[in-house]
Structure 1
Amino acid sequence: MWPCFGIHALLVVTVTLSPVTAAVWSGNDVTGEDAYPPLWDLAVEKLQDFPVKDGKIVINAWSYQERLGVYKSLLNASAKYFGAFGPQNSGNILWGLPLQHGWQFRTGRLADPSGVTSCGYENGEYLCQSVRSWWSCMNYYLAIIPFLGAVEEQKDDFCYSVKDCWSRMPKLMDDWKDFILNKSTWDKRSMRAFYRRVQLPATYFIFFSFSLKYLSGPEATFGDDWANGVDFIAATHFRTDLPTTNNFQAFLPPRMLVEQDVIPFISDFSPQQNKVLVSLRALHKANKSTGMSLTYKCMYEFFT
């Protein structure tokens, strides 16, 4: 059991020692603007606030602000079940989804990496999310599975209606439905099981590999390492509430990696950010050398 215990301990130490956000959370202040994803205040509050066309709710899944609204409505709908976990819904485990999405937006990872369009760039379509972005594609199913979605390009790669999503991945849709609608699932043990059931990154890394060609070598490697790391985060029951996720994300790369970047010697990254990149790389290599058995071993240990 020691490998999984060590991974869990590393994550706990990382968020505990974060000098960036420790002061904010020491007073349980969850109202600061920096605590939330960019443009959080502008996102819609509930599903019914999205535009309606021909009697149907329409969500542009390739708009950062509208995809953020999907997350916000999900958090608001589930808030009543997390009152005992922290003030102002801060203990909601679903915070990890919009906070990750906000980090991707802030660091330019949702923009068109090919440079063919102005999608996602400040001097172009700033709120646009590119279907060429590996990060945006991976994030798609974490945001849109419980809701309706719409795409412009590469329609075969995405489900874009409730019926379509259910036909492509019925188990995942059933899991989301059970988690959101069944009140009996809102306890700590069931939440841990939910972490395990709905993990997507490792599964969809290959499915969305077409978009990796637009990334630099270091960024593509980091994406691969991050997808592997997310599986471990789920397996070790890492808390994805508002304060914990914010603390952890302080150590993630503040920008896209370029060809000239060599870890752990990236000069405009903090020592901690360089160390996290090294750790994710080592963890992925170790997992691959064991035929990915470390992930399954951790899942077995933490969910049995």
Structure 2
Amino acid sequence: MLFPAVLGLLLACAVSLSSSAVILENGMPVLWGHTAGQLSDLPIQNDILTPDPLHYLHRMSLYRLMIAATDPFLGSMGTNATDSPIWGLPLQLGWMLTSGRLADPTGTTTCGLQTGDTMCISSESWWSCVNYFVSALPFLSAAQQGFMGEGLQVQMQVPAGVQDYCTTYADCLTHYPDAMAKWDAFFQGLKAATDSPVAENEKKDYLLGLYWVAQMASTYASAACNARQSHFSSVELSFSKNWLNSAEYVSAAHFQSNLANSAMFLTPLPGRILKEGDQAPNIADLSTDENHSLSIFSWMSNANTLLGGRLVSMWKSAMCSVQTREKGREMLGQLLLDPTFATTTFLSIVTGMTTGC
């Protein structure tokens, strides 16, 4: 399953091309073909599944198994095999890998480095910690709700001393009850929606709503990771906060984070860790698209701060119906992907939309 030479090539491409982030390999998430296609491909001890979430292929396997188990319940998302909203998460993990954000930021080990174990995910990385909350937690919930087979027990392998990584369903429920409750609601909602008589577009919007509520609950719970932010530059720290802020808009619009849509939004993300002195839109070794996305993320966060948090609240208020959420998704696409789309236009449209709710 392990092909570090392939990863080395991907990392080299990310650096040498100085273009967009490397998130796809043969049209799929990075190293997807080397992940577990069935539960028995992961470690099992005493009839308990024991994945290692600090191994890239194991963590990516959690997504592959979740997607396969939930696809039969997500027909409302579309006819393509990659229409599940869960696809956004493995693409995000792949971007974190190839951009170096899963490696040890402290420099005390070679975890995640080309000179060390390329499949190692550092528990010291803020990015890997935040991702743990949207990989391990939903997998444990899915297993608890029977999506992996009745009675499956799961125990995540986590090194001693890593206190904020819960390892079992019961453990996560105790420490992060809101996040686990929201993931349980999503997986239960999938089963309930199967026999629902409502129109497919309404069912789709409803399930996307449950999904994003769960993902955001995990994101809020990942505040437990905040101490790890000190390992990064102030510029990377600012970007990480802006990245979290952008999720508020995406989630409220019920973005369908399938493979195609997610690739479109993730490709312009910075293909390397930002360092002191980087100032978008004038970072020389980043592409125009990367500079633009960094500038827009910064503008969205700064505008919200200047307005005392009202931009996010206005946006959430405007996303009050299936129709306005559809319009919201179109606007986000224009804002993030079209450099000619003025931020002032975005503000005026959002203000107008809130009056219609």
Q: Normalised by the size of structure 1, how large is the TM-score?
A: 0.83
Separation of aligned partners in 2, 1:200 and 1:214: 24
Question: Is 1:225–1:280's contact at 8 Å kept on the other side of the alignment?
Answer: yes
Q: Is 2:294 the partner of 1:266?
A: no
Question: Which of residues 277, 283, 308 is equivalent to 1:291?
Answer: 308
Aligned to 2:298, what secondary structure does the other structure show? Answer: helix
Query: Higher Cα Rg: structure 1 or 2?
Result: 2
Shift of 1:176: 1.7
Q: Is 2:192 the partner of 1:184?
A: yes
- Give the 3 Å change call, closer, same or farther, for CA 35–153 of structure 1 in structure 2: farther
Separation of aligned partners in 1, 2:161 and 2:289: 38
Question: Which of residues 66, 69, 80 is equivalent to 2:72?
Answer: 80
Separation of aligned partners in 1, 2:73 and 2:86: 12
Q: Is 2:236 the partner of 1:229?
A: no
Question: Is 1:235–1:295's contact at 8 Å kept on the other side of the alignment?
Answer: no
Aligned to 1:41, what secondary structure does the other structure show? Answer: helix
- Give the 3 Å change call, closer, same or farther, for CA 37–205 of structure 1 in structure 2: same
Shift of 1:285: 1.2
**Equivalence for 1:4:** none
Question: Is 2:105–2:124's contact at 8 Å kept on the other side of the alignment?
Answer: yes
Please list, as runs of the form range in 1=range in 2, the aligned pairs for 1:155-170 lying within 5 A after superposition: 155-170=162-177
Shift of 1:274: 0.5
Shift of 1:129: 0.5
Amino acid across the alignment from 2:71: A
Shift of 1:170: 2.4
Please list, as runs of the form range in 1=range in 2, the aligned pairs for 1:86-105 lying within 5 A after superposition: 86-105=78-97
Shift of 1:86: 4.0
Separation of aligned partners in 2, 1:206 and 1:196: 16
Question: Is 2:102–2:127's contact at 8 Å kept on the other side of the alignment?
Answer: yes
Amino acid across the alignment from 1:188: K
**Equivalence for 1:121:** 113
Shift of 1:33: 3.8
- Give the 3 Å change call, closer, same or farther, for CA 134–153 of structure 1 in structure 2: farther
Structure 2: gaps (5+ residues): 1-19, 141-154, 195-202, 322-357
Amino acid across the alignment from 2:207: M
Cα deviation digits, residues 59-113 of structure 1 (max 9, x gap): 1111111000000000111112334534542111111111100110111100001
Amino acid across the alignment from 1:193: G
Moved more, 269-278 or 171-180: 171-180
Structure 1: gaps (5+ residues): 1-19, 21-31
Question: Is 1:111–1:133's contact at 8 Å kept on the other side of the alignment?
Answer: yes
Separation of aligned partners in 2, 1:201 and 1:286: 25
Shift of 1:220: 1.1
Count of residue pairs the alignment pairs up: 275
Shift of 1:211: 0.8
Question: Is 1:46–1:77's contact at 8 Å kept on the other side of the alignment?
Answer: no
Question: Which of residues 101, 107, 110 is equivalent to 1:109?
Answer: 101
- Give the 3 Å change call, closer, same or farther, for CA 302–99 of structure 1 in structure 2: same
Shift of 1:256: 1.0
Question: Is 2:252–2:319's contact at 8 Å kept on the other side of the alignment?
Answer: yes
Q: Is 2:255 the partner of 1:248?
A: no
Question: Which of residues 149, 163, 170 is equivalent to 2:156?
Answer: 149
- Give the 3 Å change call, closer, same or farther, for CA 204–228 of structure 1 in structure 2: farther
Separation of aligned partners in 2, 1:271 and 1:201: 32
Separation of aligned partners in 1, 2:30 and 2:43: 22
Q: Normalised by the size of structure 2, how large is the TM-score?
A: 0.71
**Equivalence for 2:53:** 61
Separation of aligned partners in 1, 2:290 and 2:320: 30
Question: Is 1:219–1:257's contact at 8 Å kept on the other side of the alignment?
Answer: yes
Separation of aligned partners in 2, 1:303 and 1:130: 40
**Equivalence for 2:7:** none
**Equivalence for 1:171:** 178
Q: Is 2:215 the partner of 1:207?
A: no
Separation of aligned partners in 2, 1:167 and 1:288: 33
Flag the structure with more relative contact order, 1 or 2, with Cα contacts below 8 A and sequence separation at least 6: 1
Q: CA RMSD in A?
A: 2.2
Question: Is 2:268–2:290's contact at 8 Å kept on the other side of the alignment?
Answer: yes
Amino acid across the alignment from 2:27: A
